Structure 1
């Protein structure tokens, strides 16, 4: 864990590295506003080292001494491959070749969890009823390229992010309509996980399954086309896709709220929730979230939010970089020093 005396040397390079895009900002000191750099596609650079050099180091005279990176991939050893990108993060190479003194690498949804610890009302939209209880656990779900999940627990005067693989829990049918649709959902080794439905490709999977159940040919193969036609209700199957997507997301969000007793709120991050906000504001999401008998009355008190901050992960990492003692981020095996 980071201790009160264990601060990172400024300037600090902050990086949010996903499968498709990389986002960077530079923090001059604990009081400065982050200097943001253009969002770049990972496919345009052979390595993360090249991206940092060309996007950041070549564009500023302020050379960072530390870097804190959030990556979409498992962190195990001195070579960290990204799940949906050919980049491999090699902290020792960053120290040797780019001049860093201190390198920390954490999970991308830990960064999202760090963000919700300090988000203001201007960066979130509440869906439905319920009130945040200060100091109580929170949960972040991120339907985007995949489905990320992380918890945030308050203990020992610090916020402790809890990463995991909650996006891979089972998701099954409950209603008569579900029973007609789920046989057409693509399975992985005999099961349907939440991520098979609650992400970009999952939305297309769900749409195709609805079309198959209705005996019609799919008209769309891109998530944006499904969501746009669903929001406009110009296509009946796309409209039902959004309705059921909201329902299933509500079920999983409610499950995670139960796991963490998240009376500090459940937060929907990732790329999809903002884009389908009108669908999430309809009754289906919140009704499914609260439908957890025998605890429906308790679930009604837990608030749900859509995160609207455009760079939430970077904001969370910046807050952590300024005041690491306020967060219980485990750095063992994830921190390298010169």
Structure 2
């Protein structure tokens, strides 16, 4: 590993870029600084024992191009030569990737750093605004994404560079505000007595919320997966599913507003992830926006901060490609995260 390199040092093309979450992994190859990424079919992480075999089978065996570099965004903390994913049994071993798959260097980022990189260059067509607010160019931004877990990252501007700030913001506390909340909270599954944002605002969290609604109302739950709850809500099959989806959006609005205050995100808060995309057709946007703004004594401040849903497909890969083309524009810390042959 080479701890002294910084993000301004150019990567060698061709570059494999990868966005690896708890459930899905997405890969593409960037031939040069001017090419569009060549994407490969989305991989289910459960279908492969490790990332090495996934890259070999779904990328390297399907192209004659041998990537010299790999830039991988992973859902988990990066600490040492063996990187465990938080919600997936894969372990990323950059030295093994270099030895066995022919890379000359491997750079590993947090998956929501990649989302933050995407937000730095997201076109107008790649986002949909929820309510009012105006983007202040050059101001801080936040991306939050419910998926297998709840990812959070900030993006700040300094010295003419965008600097992504990764963390574990999805594990902040989330508490009840309304009488309905207080009726539901005792029925939510906790972790060591704690309800974090991720306990509600992710796939399994949506099911957790649905079950709590059923328990509070004295009805038997019939759905066991996020897809079942979402499908029932979208098709108006039962009241509990519909309420679960609406409250999911309200609670996400509250957390997004908290994050906006933490980062003073006058550049906007951006919602990523497939779960939210599926419920957009039925969510009550005004209620979500009200929850986002309800931050007394700073309600007036919040009214001017925009809230967006990222609609651009494969946004994280686009963010990685943007960084790989022009690393000098990003203040990305690569110490202990960049391995070379």
Question: Which TM-score applies when normalising by structure 2?
Answer: 0.96
Offset of residue 20 of structure 1: 1.5
Q: State the partner residue of 1:196.
A: 199
Aligned length: 337
Residue number in structure 1 paired with 2:130: 127
Q: Residue 62 of structure 1: CA displacement?
A: 1.4
Alpha-carbon distance between aligned partners in 1 of 2:122 and 2:186, rounded to the nearest angstrom: 40
What residue number does 2:179 align with? 176
Which of these residues, 9, 12, 16, is aligned with residue 9 of structure 1? 12
1:231 has 2:241 as partner: no
SS at match of 1:153: strand
Matches within 5 A, 1:61-80: 61-80=64-83
- Structure 1 unaligned blocks of 5 or more: none
Distance in 2, Cα, partners of 1:291 & 1:113: 25
Q: Is residue 88 of structure 2 the alignment partner of residue 88 of structure 1?
A: no
Q: Which residue of 2 aligns with 1:37?
A: 40
1:106 matched to 2:106:
no
Partners of 1:273 and 1:280 within 8 A in 2: no
4+ runs deviating over 6 angstroms = none
State the partner residue of 1:218.
221
3-state SS, counterpart of residue 278 of structure 1? coil
Q: 1:82, CA displacement in angstroms?
A: 1.5
SS in 1 for 2:59: helix
Contiguous gaps of at least 5 residues in structure 2:
none
More displaced stretch, 49-58 vs 189-198: 49-58
Q: Using the TM superposition, give the Cα deviation of residue 179 of structure 1 relative to its aligned residue in structure 2, in angstroms.
A: 1.1
User: What do you get for the CA RMSD once the two structures are aligned?
Assistant: 1.2
- Compute the displacement of 1:281 (Å): 4.7
Shift of 1:280: 4.0
Alpha-carbon displacement from aligned partner over 1:29-50 (angstroms, at most 9, x marks no partner)? 0001111111111222222111
| Alignment partner of 2:161 out of 148, 153, 158 | 158
Q: 2:292 & 2:186 partners in 1: Cα distance?
A: 24
Distance 1:217 1:310 in 2: 37
Judge conservation of contact 1:2–1:327 (CA < 8 Å) in 2.
no
Question: 8 Å contact 1:130–1:303 — kept in the other structure?
Answer: yes
How far apart are the structure 1 equivalents of 2:285 and 2:117? 28
